[in-house]
Structure 1
Amino acid sequence: MFRLPISLLSVALLLGGCSLIPDYQRPTSPSATQYPQGPAYPAASQVSSADQDWRRLFNDPALQQLIESALVNNRDLRVAALNVEAFQAQYRIQRADLFPAVSATASELRRRMPVANSKAVITSTYGVNLGVSAYELDFFGRVRSLSQQALLSWLATEEARRSAQLSLVANVANAYLTWRADQELLALAHETLTADEQSLRLTTRNREAGKSSALEQIQAQTSVDSTRASLARYQRQVAQDLNSLTLLVGAPVPDTLPARPLSSDLLAQLPAGLPSDLLQRRPDIVQAEYQLRAANANIGAARAAFFPSVSLTANAGTSSSDLSGLFKGGSGAWLFQPQINLPVFNAGSLRASLDYSKLQKDINVAQYEKSIQTSFQEVADGLAARQTYQQQLQAQRDLVQATQDYYNMAQHRYQSGVDSSLVFLDAQRSLFSSQQGLITDRLAQLVAEVNLYTALGGGWSTFEPITQ
């Protein structure tokens, strides 16, 4: 008597492979086939995937310690990881619909029934059942399409976590470098203020002795006031930088953190060539493609909704008025209830759902293409920054050396009485400004290297490319 249900289940398993999901084709890249070339760009060659991650990029042990702490304690990254687990759970829920949910129930029913001109009668009924309730036979792949969509959404969330981790590493590095740069600017302001105050005292004594004019004294005072303003600004920036770094790290920054100057070898040199599989290594691009494929799978579910859906309810068990007679002969019972739902009229709801699914796919295509264009622009900017910052830094070092010579000569001539203090103060301001510029340019060059590391997809040695 169970041949009919078994036959239907066999047919359901055979037709379960039927899918109405459109064949997926990766969209053509909207960007150029090669990166820009010219005086601002280095000669870039294509290389294979390199074994490069953030531990090999950053040479500063203090920065490595902060990044390690951020990867453990940062709350945004923790939320991204929890989102991955949440989407994994949603996929498991959706995937469970592919299989029948079998449940076993045991029941007891006691009933009191009044009888005319007699005492009431109390009856008892006992039952045990094992069955399947409203299991949809996936003839047209609707449930399988939804399961595929949930799987791809989960994988997209995992790529979002990788992207968040890559951004966190870069943000911690940039915040740390900015903090160190402002500390060096603060120390430079302290040194300059000491020199300015000494010049002011010397100019004041000369003014009292009649050797200098009031104009020279006022000029010396303005240098002191200007440097004091810079000192206060850098003190504020150092404190705010530390607060930002603490937020990113997710834990207090140790006071005994060793410091290395920006001029030291803080970052390892990234490979000169460009990776040939950039589009498969950047997590934001891979995430966008997973989202596109999920939208493509959702079209299959929307298409399947136009066809009849078949659900199956079946159970078998035993029932008796006595608990001892539950499993005796003649107490068995079974129920088989297939149901077919055929959409006849829904005021265009199914058509609108299909149109909406197709529009969502078009939106994801545009977002995927946008992510490629963004990555192209970021890599091109990073290449231009790498080439030009090297030239700019060398020019700035030469400027600092020239202004240092100018300052030394002006100081000697002023102390010898050959020139007035105005020339010496001008040399002092020029030296301070050029030294500030060198620190700022070095910071910009380091930040550009970190941004290029991010644009190239970060640590990709353990990444497996997306499969079609």
Structure 2
Amino acid sequence: MPRFVASPRTSFHVSPWLLGLLLVTTSGCTLTPERNAADLSGTVPSRWTGTDQPGRPVFERWVDSFADPALSALVQESLAGNYDLKAVAARVDAAREQARIDGAWRWPQLAFAPGYERARVRSAGFGSTEFGAFEALFTLDWELDVWGRIRAFQQAAVQEAAATEADFHAARLSLAARTAQSYFELAEAKLQVEVAERSIQERRTIVELVRGRFARGLTRGLDLRLALTDLANAEAQLAVARNRVQLATRRLEVLLGRYPSGRLTATARLPEPPVSLSAGLPAELLARRPDLIAAFERLRAADFRVESAQKALLPRVALTAAGGTRSAALTELIDPRAAAWNVFMGLIQPLFTGGRLKGEIRLNQALAEEALNRYKSAALNAFREVEQSLAAEEWLRGQEQALREAVEQTEASRRLAVYAYRHGFIEILTLLDSYRSTLNAQSAHLSVKRQLLNNRIELYLALGGGV
């Protein structure tokens, strides 16, 4: 039987029965507070104020709700090829391994060091002597986690790994949303190019009309100059629209993990916005949004770090063992009778650390308070994002309908203006103004349609929808 003696770091002996009593009475000791996500988020209303539609939300794979196969394919490509998302995935793996590393000290640390030594000893007047020896040594160090200090430290790393995994899901949702919004931005830019090209064709027709009237002496040279100026301005607007296409194309290609060559082909179509969404209950948001889950997990990690720091004030029970064999003959290393070994067990009680341990407690308590307030702030902002997206959808739908009507009215007025100018009823400025109004109304209508689609994506993202 091994002999248990006090470590040289202490001045008292530890009996085995006392150690067993400590293990039984303190193994369940914990200082970590109980946390509830709903209680920490403040007052949660029973329903959203921005919508009158109750019910459980149905928005898993929300990308498919736009009924655009090309969009769904691009989102899946971005989720598979985006390098930023791959970096976050690697961070998840690193966090999991860090949790495994932090928990390794709960187990014995055993090392084996075999070796061979060859030496020559010279004696005055007697020549020299050479000898060799084989050795097989081992060491064992084990801090018995009586109070759960190491367990709490490991659990903090486990919670941090869970938070990092939630960060990955949040990044995945954000990437899908940015891909969809970039796709709609590209579609709108291409439609704006088509609108500008049609406007230029129509204005060239007007230039030819004015030039013919000027040749027949029916109008002034100023009218022709004004028509040519208006045509040049329309061509400048077309150049701006085409530049927006190449910018949007390259942004989307980077999100997909492709080289930004500007050669991505995408359909120039803005789908009609999906029907009104049932947003569910505000309380459900706390358990569904990945960023809120991550903030709560980091709060729990901070709590465990506080617990670990507090338990660092308690005595540590350490077990140290060393042993092995040494022989000139390799065959004798396996003879157990030649082994020498020793085992030490003792307590290490911090007495004076210059305020380091208590400072670490206060530091981790302050970090836990920071994590708590960050979680509360994240929850409040999550509610704001849902509420403002719900309210914005109502206003954007009204704006889209008004601009749709404006497009119809300006197109009708433009046709009337052309007829009136041909017959000399109006001046050239009135005719040109009707063309500018038509172009502006069409451009604004396309822009608000994209805003409505983007807002729906923001709502899906705010509600924690899946992809």
Same fold (TM over 0.5): yes
Q: Aligned runs of 1:34-433 on 2, under 5 Å?
A: 34=46, 37=49, 41-47=50-56, 50=58, 52-132=60-140, 134-252=141-259, 255=263, 257-262=265-270, 264-265=271-272, 268-269=274-275, 271-275=277-281, 276-328=283-335, 330-433=337-440
CA distance in 2, matches of 1:66, 1:154: 30
Amino acid in the other structure paired with 1:366:
N
> Per-residue deviation at 1:116?
4.9
- Residue from 24, 28, 34 that aligns with 1:24: 34
Q: 1:274 to 1:330 in 2, by over 3 A?
A: closer
CA distance in 2, matches of 1:22, 1:442: 51
Give the conservation status (yes or no) of the 8 Å contact 2:187–2:266.
Answer: no
Q: Aligned runs of 1:425-464 on 2, under 5 Å?
A: 425-459=432-466
Q: 1:67 to 1:335 in 2, by over 3 A?
A: same
Give the conservation status (yes or no) of the 8 Å contact 1:15–1:140.
Answer: no
Q: 1:256 to 1:305 in 2, by over 3 A?
A: closer
> Per-residue deviation at 1:209?
2.2
- Over aligned residue pairs, what C-alpha RMSD do you find? 2.6
TM-score by length of 1: 0.89
CA distance in 2, matches of 1:390, 1:34: 26
Q: 1:226 to 1:321 in 2, by over 3 A?
A: same
Q: 1:337 to 1:56 in 2, by over 3 A?
A: same
Q: 1:317 to 1:13 in 2, by over 3 A?
A: farther
Determine helix, strand or coil for the equivalent of 1:24.
Answer: coil
> Per-residue deviation at 1:86?
0.8
Percent identity between the aligned chains? Answer: 26
After alignment, is 219-228 or 435-444 more displaced?
Answer: 219-228
CA deviation digits over 1:232-290, x for unaligned, max 9?
A: 1111111111111111111158957451521x34x544632424511111100000001
Amino acid in the other structure paired with 1:401:
E
Matched length? 453
CA distance in 2, matches of 1:115, 1:257: 88
After alignment, is 237-246 or 97-106 more displaced?
Answer: 97-106
Q: 1:98 to 1:63 in 2, by over 3 A?
A: same
Determine helix, strand or coil for the equivalent of 1:274.
Answer: coil
Amino acid in the other structure paired with 2:130:
I
Determine helix, strand or coil for the equivalent of 2:322.
Answer: strand
Give the conservation status (yes or no) of the 8 Å contact 1:156–1:291.
Answer: yes
CA distance in 1, matches of 2:424, 2:115: 112
CA distance in 1, matches of 2:73, 2:86: 18
CA distance in 2, matches of 1:340, 1:272: 61
Give the conservation status (yes or no) of the 8 Å contact 2:82–2:257.
Answer: yes
CA distance in 1, matches of 2:297, 2:165: 10
> Per-residue deviation at 1:416?
3.4
Determine helix, strand or coil for the equivalent of 2:182.
Answer: helix
After alignment, is 234-243 or 322-331 more displaced?
Answer: 322-331
CA distance in 1, matches of 2:172, 2:156: 24
After alignment, is 309-318 or 134-143 more displaced?
Answer: 309-318
> Per-residue deviation at 1:36?
6.0
CA deviation digits over 1:321-347, x for unaligned, max 9?
A: 433433447423221122432212122
TM-score by length of 2: 0.89
After alignment, is 424-433 or 70-79 more displaced?
Answer: 424-433
CA distance in 2, matches of 1:366, 1:457: 21
> Per-residue deviation at 1:316?
4.2
> Per-residue deviation at 1:442?
0.5
CA distance in 2, matches of 1:28, 1:405: 58
> Per-residue deviation at 1:131?
4.1
CA distance in 1, matches of 2:47, 2:146: 49
Determine helix, strand or coil for the equivalent of 1:432.
Answer: helix
> Per-residue deviation at 1:93?
0.9
CA distance in 2, matches of 1:452, 1:327: 71
CA distance in 2, matches of 1:13, 1:103: 26
Correspondence for 1:466: none
Give the conservation status (yes or no) of the 8 Å contact 1:12–1:137.
Answer: no
Q: 1:124 to 1:222 in 2, by over 3 A?
A: same
> Per-residue deviation at 1:444?
0.7
Task: Give the gaps of 5 or more residues in structure 1.
Answer: 461-468
